[in-house]
């Protein structure tokens, strides 16, 4: 019963639309202020603070203070993976976005976005498929980086080998994409791929949200490194 009570209490943290909206916003992997999250969720700052206190107390979020500002972010990559997995299991056929601005934002997220610290959307799935087809990723049972994949990550991609040592976080993880309904690459390898793409400006963020777009340099790099050309 103790486990059941704990699970029910944990689930209750997300059983509120405002708290759920805040957690989904934080899937961009960045730290937000309480004021920013209040504006995003459309609630008063005092209300947002109450919700954030519950999320922090429940272990979903962590906080840091800098001067007068309070910054919050998801507690760890495992929480991000859990949120993405839950979202991917929602019933399809949700009402379409209303208005041109909302529809444009929705389309951008579907094309490419960050899922905490790795790539998702059509771009993330396409990169994952290309890695698998090239023999750099083994998708037979979950995801595993092959020896060739490690050489690719530390060679052409230039990731330091010590940044790929799996600890509590696995090197590769299959993360079910909530828009594509297919897995994209998570884990340390997924994070390093996304980080490198951003650093080399192969992808760039669209506005202040999670959406990203592929740059001309990125298209050329993916064509050369992964023979990936079918990207919209």
Number of structural domains in the chain: 2
Kindly state whether residue 87 falls inside one of the protein's structural domains: no
Q: Are 46 and 55 in contact (CB under 8 A)?
A: no
DSSP state of 32: E
- 203-205 and 173-176 beta bridge pairing: unpaired
- Strand, coil or helix: what is 210? coil
DSSP state of 163: G
pLDDT of residue 91: 60
pLDDT of residue 98: 58
What percent of the chain stands above pLDDT 90? 52
- Residue 73 CA to residue 105 CA, distance in Å, equals 22
Are residues 102 and 14 located together in one domain of the fold? no
pLDDT of residue 207: 78
Give the domain range for residue 16. Answer: 2-75
Are residues 44 and 101 located together in one domain of the fold? no
Are residues 64 and 131 located together in one domain of the fold? no
80-111 pLDDT, tens digit each = 888 888 887 776 544 555 565 656 677 888 88
Are residues 63 and 99 located together in one domain of the fold? no
- State the burial class of residue 75 (Cβ atoms within 10 Å of its Cβ: 0-12, 13-18, 19+): middle
Prediction pTM value: 0.75
Could you list the pLDDT tens digit for every one of the 232 residues in the chain? 468 888 898 889 999 999 999 998 898 888 899 999 999 899 999 999 999 999 999 999 999 888 778 899 999 888 888 888 888 777 654 455 556 565 667 788 888 998 888 999 999 999 999 999 999 999 888 899 999 999 999 999 999 999 998 777 889 988 888 788 888 999 999 999 999 999 999 999 987 778 899 999 999 999 999 998 877 6
Q: Which of 22, 14, 13 is nearest to 41 (CA)?
A: 22
Measured over the CA atoms of residue 46, residue 47, residue 49 and residue 53, the dihedral's sign is positive
37-73 pLDDT, tens digit each = 999 899 999 999 999 999 999 999 999 888 778 899 9
């Amino acid at each position: 019963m103790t486990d059941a009570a704990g699970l029910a209490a944990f689930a209750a943290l997300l059983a509120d639309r405002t708290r759920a909206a805040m957690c989904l916003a934080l899937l961009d992997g960045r730290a937000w202020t309480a004021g920013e999250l209040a504006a995003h969720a459309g609630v008063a700052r005092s209300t947002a603070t109450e919700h954030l206190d519950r999320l922090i107390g429940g272990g979903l979020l962590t906080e840091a203070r800098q001067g007068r500002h309070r910054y919050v972010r998801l507690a760890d990559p495992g929480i991000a993976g859990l949120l993405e997995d839950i979202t991917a299991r929602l019933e399809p056929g949700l009402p379409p976005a209303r208005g041109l601005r909302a529809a444009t934002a929705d389309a951008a997220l579907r094309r490419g976005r960050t899922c905490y610290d790795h790539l998702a959307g059509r771009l993330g799935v396409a990169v994952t498929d290309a890695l698998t087809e090239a023999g750099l990723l083994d998708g037979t049972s979950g995801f595993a980086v092959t020896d060739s994949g490690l050489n690719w990550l530390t060679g052409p991609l230039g990731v330091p080998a010590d940044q790929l040592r799996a600890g509590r976080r696995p090197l590769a993880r299959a993360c079910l994409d909530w828009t594509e309904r297919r897995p994209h690459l998570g884990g340390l390898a997924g994070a390093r791929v996304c980080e490198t793409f951003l650093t080399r400006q192969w992808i760039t963020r669209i506005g202040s949200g999670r959406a990203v777009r592929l740059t001309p340099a990125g298209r050329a790099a993916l064509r050369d490194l992964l023979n990936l050309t079918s990207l919209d």
